[in-house]
């Protein structure tokens, strides 16, 4: 019986709304108002949906008609359909819309009923994009940078910025407002991380200089060792040393000094190269391991610099 009364009231409201549309329609048939035409079509779709018991479609179409051509009868009809169809999100959106108008008592009563029934089942969600983006919540299009009602609970927010797509899980408590913000695009983050660093060219310049210095050091060490071996083979340390022992000793001392200097130069270049690699290549491309070591040889030494990249 209650359903029959409700159906009768709704049918009367829809008829009244249609009559209002006819009254406000432009008299010039040759130039129909597009908004009025679409509003009338939305009313018709809403009325048809209500007659077949599809309350969700009825509420949505009647709400669209009211948005195109504000009308208290249409708004009340949309609210009533949302209540009968148990549509919490649309019901709260219509209640918020009605609160911005000075409506009659019947609409105010429906607003109170909608808030009492749906207020504990929805929250608000805002998705903020720093630039152009496309947003979908649970697969449905969602307006970015605007606060909208959503059902309370977890939601999957998909955000597309250029070629980047990100999914965020947003848990919206009942009666609360939640903001979801995407991460900066990967390329922008990578560029920002590297904007204040040195060019990677400097790392490879240092690596080349260290390699050249190491090669010269190796050659000098081998020459020093050769002079030392020759000095010992001639018996120069003994009392029966040949006359040229003094010359061999002088050459050996010069080679030893040169080798020691090259050891220091190579060490400095190796340390500088490691530092340049850390500063210029960034976190992802930085050397994962760098080691500077020395191998002692009789009469000299060889420096070894090893740098491994990912």
What is residue 298's predicted lDDT score, i.e. its pLDDT? 47
User: What pTM does this model have?
Assistant: 0.54
Question: How do the domains of the chain map onto residue ranges?
Answer: 2-86, 122-187, 200-308
With a cut of 60, say whether residue 192 has pLDDT above it. Answer: no
3-class DSSP state for residue 244?
coil
220 Cα distance to chain centroid: 55
DSSP SS3 for 173: coil
DSSP-derived letter for residue 276 is: H
Query: Is the pLDDT at 276 greater than 70, yes or no?
Result: no
The CA distance from 254 to 242, in Å, is 20
pLDDT band for position 303 (cuts 50, 70, 90): very low
Distance, in Å, from the CA atom of 130 to the CA atom of 122, rounded to the nearest integer, reads 26
Q: Which of 134-143, 232-241, 272-281 has the lowest mean pLDDT?
A: 232-241
Q: Give the residue-averaged pLDDT of 223-248.
A: 65
pLDDT in tens, 151-170: 999 999 999 988 889 999 99
Among the listed residues 109, 86, 39, 18, the one whose alpha carbon sits nearest the alpha carbon of residue 10: 18
Provide CATH code, domain 122-187.
2.60.40
Residue that is written with structure tokens 């530092």 in the block:
275
Where would I find the beta strands (DSSP E) of 47-163?
A: 122-127, 134-137, 140-142, 148-151, 153-161
User: 27: pLDDT confidence band, cut at 50, 70 and 90?
Assistant: very low
Asked whether the predicted pLDDT for residue 295 surpasses 70, the reply is: no
Tokens standing for residue 15: 């008829």
């Amino acid at each position: 019986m209650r359903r029959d009364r409700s159906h009768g009231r709704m049918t009367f409201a829809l008829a009244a709304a249609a009559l209002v549309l006819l009254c406000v329609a432009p008299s010039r048939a040759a130039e129909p108002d597009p908004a009025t035409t679409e509003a009338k079509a939305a009313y018709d779709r809403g009325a048809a949906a209500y007659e077949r018991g599809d309350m969700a479609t009825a509420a949505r179409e009647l709400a669209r008609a009211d948005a195109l051509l504000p009308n208290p009868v249409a708004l009340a009809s949309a609210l009533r359909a949302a209540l009968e169809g148990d549509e919490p999100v649309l019901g709260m959106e219509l209640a918020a819309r009605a609160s911005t108008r000075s409506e009659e008592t019947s609409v105010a009563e429906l607003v109170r009923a909608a808030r009492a029934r749906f207020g504990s089942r929805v929250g608000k969600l805002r998705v903020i994009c720093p630039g152009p983006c496309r947003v979908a919540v649970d697969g449905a299009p969602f307006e970015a940078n605007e606060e909208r009602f959503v059902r309370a609970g977890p939601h999957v927010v998909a955000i597309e910025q250029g070629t980047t797509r990100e999914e965020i899980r947003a848990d919206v408590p009942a009666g609360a407002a939640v903001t979801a913000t995407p991460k900066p695009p990967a390329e922008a983050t990578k560029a920002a991380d590297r904007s204040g660093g040195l060019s990677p060219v400097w790392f490879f310049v240092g690596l080349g200089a260290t390699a050249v210095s190491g090669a010269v050091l190796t050659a000098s060490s081998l020459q020093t060792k050769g002079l030392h071996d020759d000095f010992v083979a001639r018996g120069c340390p003994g009392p029966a040393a040949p006359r040229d022992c003094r010359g061999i000793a002088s050459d050996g001392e010069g080679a030893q000094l040169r080798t020691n200097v090259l050891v220091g130069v190579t060490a400095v270049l190796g340390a500088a190269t490691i530092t340049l690699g850390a500063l210029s290549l960034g976190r992802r491309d930085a050397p994962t391991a760098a080691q500077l070591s020395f191998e002692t040889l009789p009469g000299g030494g060889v420096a070894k610099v090893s740098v491994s990249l990912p």
